[in-house]
C-alpha cells in the first residue's frame, strides 16, 4: 500500500528567518589569537632589523590568518558569558566597591557632579558592562580597527596629547591591549603615555574620588605568572616608577586584573630586560621602560 505523503506546511517551506550564528571553538579562537600575536611580534622584529622582504611576507601571513578582523572576532568569543565574560565587569565591581558607582541605582553615589570620563583603549563593544552607566560614566572608545559606531578607529599611540584638562580622563581601561604591543619597549611607551591622559582631581574632598584617576589593566595571566622577564613584583615596581599605586587585583585561571590609582609623578627610573627566573615552559613577555 502506497504511503500518503503528508503535505508540507507553508512555514516548513520557508527559509529560517535567522540562523544561529556559528561560534568558533575555543581552541580555534585561541589558535587565531596566538598566531596573530606571534606574527605581529615577528613583523615588528623584521622591521627593526630593516628586513623589508620578511616584513612584507609577515604582513601577508597576518592577512592569511584572517587579519585584525578575525583576531577581534576571536577575542570577542572570549568575552562570551560561558568563556569568562566581559572583563569590564570586574572594573564595575571595583568601582562599586570604591563607591564610585552605586550598584542598585546605577548612579554615582555622590550626585551633583559631572560624569566621570573613561577612555577604553582596544574597545570591541559599546554594550559591555562599563558602558551601562552613561549618565555617570561618559565613555570614549578607540580601537585600531573599529567594530562600528561608538568606537573611533585610532591607534592610542597616535592619539593627540591632551592640550587641556578636558582632554584627559578619570579612568582608562587597557584590557588585553598591552600584550598586543609586539615589543617590550613599545609596552613601556604605552604605559608612560597613559599617564599623560589621566586627570588629577586636586582638591576633591569626597571619599569616592580619592582614588581617581584610575587605570584598569588586564593581562593574560601567563604574562605575569609564567614569564622569564616579568612577575607581579616587577610589574608593580614598574607601575610604581610611573606613579601608579595598586588598589585592587584579582587572578582567574586565564587573566590577571589590576586597578591602579595614579598619584604621579612619573620618575626617570628605567627598567631593562632582565631574566628574573627560568624554566622550560616559560614565555618571554617583558616590559622595558626607557
Ligand atoms: C584582545 S582585544 C581586547 C578587547 C577588549 N578590550 C577585551 O578586553 O576583551 C585587543 C584589542 O586592542 C586593540 N589595540 C591594540 N593596540 C591598540 C592601540 N595601540 N590603540 C588602540 N587599540 C589597540 C586591538 O585592535 C584589539 O581590538
- The string of pLDDT tens digits covering residues 43-88 is 999 998 999 999 999 999 999 999 999 998 888 876 665 556 799 9
> CA 17 to CA 235: how far, in whole Å?
51
Distance between CA atoms of 208 and 109, rounded to whole angstroms?
8
ω before 113 within 30° of 0 (cis)? no
C-alpha cell recorded at residue 24: 568558533
Q: What are the Cα distances from residue 107, in Å, to 76, 212, 263? A: 28, 17, 25
In which band, very low, low, confident or very high, does the pLDDT at 18 lie, cut at 50, 70 and 90? very low
Q: Is residue 21 predicted with pLDDT exceeding 90? A: no
pLDDT score, position 208: 55
User: pLDDT tens, 237-247?
Assistant: 999 999 999 99
Residue 100: the pLDDT is 80
Per-residue pLDDT at 85: 73
Helices 26-48 and 67-78, axial angle in degrees (round to 10): 140
Query: Which residues surround ligand 1 with Cβ inside 6 Å?
Result: 68, 72, 75, 79, 87, 121-122, 124, 142-145, 155-157, 175-177, 180, 218
Write out pLDDT tens, residues 248-258: 999 999 999 99
Tens digits of residue pLDDT in 140-182: 999 999 989 999 999 999 999 999 988 999 999 999 999 999 9
Tell me the CA–centroid distance for residue 157 and ligand 1, in Å: 12
Predicted ipTM beyond 0.85:
yes
Cβ 142 vs Cβ 121: under 8 Å: yes
Q: How far is the CA of 130 from the centre of ligand 1 (A)?
A: 16
Amino acid at each position: 500500500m502506497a504511503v500518503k505523503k503528508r503535505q508540507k506546511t507553508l512555514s516548513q517551506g520557508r527559509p529560517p528567518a535567522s540562523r544561529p550564528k556559528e561560534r568558533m571553538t575555543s581552541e580555534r579562537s585561541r589558535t587565531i589569537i596566538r598566531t596573530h600575536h606571534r606574527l605581529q611580534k615577528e613583523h615588528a622584529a623584521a622591521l627593526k632589523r630593516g628586513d623589508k622582504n620578511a616584513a612584507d611576507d609577515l604582513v601577508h601571513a597576518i592577512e592569511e590568518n584572517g587579519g585584525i578582523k578575525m583576531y577581534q572576532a576571536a577575542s570577542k568569543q572570549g568575552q562570551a558569558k560561558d568563556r569568562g565574560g566581559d572583563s569590564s565587569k570586574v572594573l564595575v565591581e571595583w568601582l562599586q566597591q570604591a563607591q564610585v558607582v552605586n550598584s542598585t541605582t546605577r548612579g554615582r553615589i555622590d550626585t551633583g557632579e559631572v560624569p566621570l570620563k573613561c577612555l577604553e583603549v582596544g574597545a570591541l563593544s559599546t554594550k559591555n558592562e562599563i558602558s551601562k552607566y552613561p549618565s555617570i560614566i561618559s565613555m570614549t572608545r578607540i580601537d585600531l580597527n573599529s567594530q562600528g559606531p561608538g568606537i573611533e578607529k585610532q591607534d592610542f599611540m597616535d592619539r593627540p596629547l591632551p592640550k587641556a584638562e578636558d582632554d584627559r580622563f578619570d579612568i582608562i581601561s587597557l584590557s588585553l591591549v598591552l600584550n598586543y604591543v609586539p615589543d617590550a619597549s613599545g609596552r613601556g611607551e604605552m604605559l608612560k603615555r597613559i599617564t599623560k591622559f589621566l586627570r588629577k582631581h586636586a582638591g576633591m574632598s569626597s571619599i569616592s574620588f580619592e582614588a581617581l584617576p584610575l587605570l584598569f589593566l588586564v593581562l593574560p595571566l601567563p604574562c605575569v605568572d609564567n614569564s622569564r622577564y616579568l612577575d607581579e613584583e616587577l610589574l608593580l615596581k614598574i607601575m610604581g616608577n610611573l606613579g601608579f599605586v595598586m588598589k585592587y587585583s584579582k587572578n582567574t585561571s586565564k587573566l590577571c586584573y589590576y586597578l591602579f590609582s595614579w598619584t604621579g609623578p612619573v620618575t626617570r627610573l628605567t627598567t631593562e630586560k632582565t631574566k628574573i627566573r627560568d624554566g622550560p615552559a616559560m614565555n618571554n613577555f617583558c616590559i622595558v621602560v626607557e
